[in-house]
Homo-oligomer: A and B are copies of this chain.
Amino acid sequence: MRDAYHEELDSIGDGLVEMARLVGSAIGRATTALLDADLKIAESVIAADEKVDDLQRDLEQRAIALLARQQPVATDLRIVVTSLRMSSDLERCGDLARHVAKVARLRYPNSAVPSDLHPTILEMGQLAQRLVAKAGQVITTKDVDAAMQLEQDDDEMDLLHRTLFQHLLDDRWSHGIETAVDVTLCGRYYERFADHAVSVAKRVVYLVTGEHADELTTTA
Contact = CB atoms under 8 A, between A and B. Distances in A.
Interface of A: 64, 67-68, 71, 73-74, 77-78, 81, 84-85, 88, 165, 168-169, 173, 177-178, 180-181, 184-185, 188
Contact of A73 (B68, B73, B77): B68
A156 to B, nearest CB: 21
Nearest to A74: B68
Q: What is the predominant secondary structure among interface residues of chain A facing chain B? A: helix
12 contacts: A64-B77, A64-B78, A67-B81, A68-B77, A168-B181, A169-B178, A169-B181, A177-B177, A177-B180, A180-B180, A180-B184, A184-B185
Nearest to A192: B192
The 3 closest A-B pairs by CB, nearest first: A71-B71, A184-B184, A68-B73
Query: Of residues A85, A168, A180, A181, which shows the largest number of chain B Cβ atoms within 10 Å of its Cβ?
Result: A181
A64 B85 contact: no
Q: Which of A85, A168, A180 has the most CB of B within 10 A?
A: A180
Nearest to A89: B88
Contact of A81 (B64, B73, B177, B180): B64
A181 B180 contact: yes
Contacts of A78: 64
Contacts of A71: 71, 73
Given A81-B84, A85-B88, A169-B178, 4 more contacts: A173-B177, A180-B180, A180-B184, A185-B188
Contact of A168 (B81, B165, B177): B177
A85 B87 CA distance: 11
A27 B16 CA distance: 33
Contacts of A188: 185, 188
Contacts of A88: 85, 88
Nearest to A80: B67
A185 B185 CA distance: 7
Contact of A181 (B84, B85, B165): B165
A118 to B, nearest CB: 19
Contacts of A84: 81, 84-85
